[in-house]
A = this chain, B = another copy of it.
């Protein structure tokens, strides 16, 4: 059901990083992924802001603050969320199993879980499978990992690009999972991105934050954020470019651009593989008086079940888009200068349906699967774009049947 989701491209290895996957019997296929990071690497991360964040999120934050990670352990099928004290014990036990088998410290392991909320993590199964994951470690394990971290995703999602920074070839490779509960400030999303660039730890965090701003923070599927979202960016330094030690370093912009490009592709792929999606909708709000109001209008449209259902029906129901703009929380919004475009067709102007608009024009745009909406507010110079999907029978089916 994915909407023009690109098939998984070859994912280039990142010098120094090894990836292993195996089946821990939580799911019938590979469900456990282990990343081994070189000791000199740096690691930045952004986590969900949900107050009921899962135990592995809290443990991962603590470990990241205390040590430089040597391993990332990811299981699919069970989120270890809403599991209270048991959840912490279980997440730590899994880290401990990795530590015992590899000789690293417990806090050099970051745990990640995704899947059903509230069931206890099957620690025995995971611990028993860790030796297989270690045995499977190899530099080019990224494609298999993209597969093993999936839950309701219909296909693996990854991206790999190369660039040159100060004369040194640099690779950025990333994988992502997540197909529902997607919203700004993170979601049921796990993203693992790595580069061989040499960059200081603090600057790496700035780079990740900046790259997320126009990618993962600009997508929404159903407005729900999850308890487990995390996005990790690792830099190994193996490319031996001159160390990027500040955002004003000459190499910084090139790296941010490359990481942003990977994040944007991964974020859009999540929307293209949204639960039940049949349309990929790009909502641009232009000429706003602030970034904030552009985002408010864009997300109000993107979260409207009526707009999303109309797209599912390929119905150019511009009235629902207009109604969503009209209820967005924007101070003193004057509707008269507002223009709304569906594809290249102006559907709303002068406070109502555009004079020259015909149903045929709307229908023609709606026949596409990739559809842009442009809202021109006529109030200022700010512009923002968000990406979303439609709301279909299959969204309901997938989310109604998830646990059964």
**Which residues of A72-99 have CB atoms within 8 Å of chain B's CB atoms?**
79, 81-87
**When A81-B319, A318-B82, A399-B310 are in contact, do A305 and B224 touch as well, CB less than 8 Å?**
yes
Q: Is A298 an interface residue (CB 8 A)?
A: no
Nearest Cβ in chain B — how far from A76, in angstroms? 16
**Nearest Cβ in chain B — how far from A306, in angstroms?**
5
Q: Which of B53, B81, B305, B352 contacts A86 (CB 8 A)?
A: B352
Whether B348 contacts A82 by the Cβ 8 Å rule is yes
Shortest CB distance A103–B (Å): 32
Near B by CB (< 8 A), chain A positions 30-57 give: 49-53
Cβ-based interface call for A154 (8 A): no
CA gap between A352 and B86 in the complex, in Å: 9
- Chain A, interface size category, equals 35 or more
Give the nearest-CB partner of A351 in chain B: B84
A51 touches B399 (CB 8 A): no
Task: State in angstroms the CA–CA spacing of A283 and B36 once bound together.
Answer: 46
- Residues of chain B within 8 A (CB-CB) of A122 are none
Q: Which one of A223, A304, A333 has the greatest number of beta carbons of chain B within 10 Å?
A: A223
User: Which residues of chain A from 318 to 332 have a CB within 8 Å of any chain B CB?
Assistant: 318-320, 322-327
Q: Which of A141-149, A285-293, A389-397 lies on the face that meets chain B? A: A389-397
| A227 interface hit (Cβ, 8 Å) | yes
A323 x B117 contact (CB < 8 A): yes
Complex: how many Å from CA A320 to CA B392? 20
Contact A400 B84 (CB under 8 A): no
Chain B: minimal CB distance from A84 (Å): 3
Instruction: Check B320 against A117 for contact (C-beta < 8 Å).
Output: yes
User: When the two chains form their complex, are residues B305 and A51 in contact, meaning their CB atoms are under 8 A apart?
Assistant: no
B396 and A392: CB pair below 8 A?
A: yes
Instruction: Using CB atoms, name the residue of chain B closest to A319.
Output: B117
CB-CB < 8 A to A86: which residues of B? 352
Whether A87 touches B117, Cβ cut-off 8 Å, given contacts A224-B324, A315-B400, is no
Closest B residue, CB atoms, query A328 = B51
Residue of B nearest to A333 (CB): B51
What chain B residues lie within 8 Å of A85 (beta carbons)? 350-352
Could you list 16 examples of A-B contacts with CB < 8 Å?
A: A50-B326, A52-B322, A52-B326, A82-B352, A85-B350, A86-B352, A181-B323, A224-B320, A224-B327, A225-B323, A227-B319, A227-B323, A309-B395, A310-B399, A312-B400, A391-B396
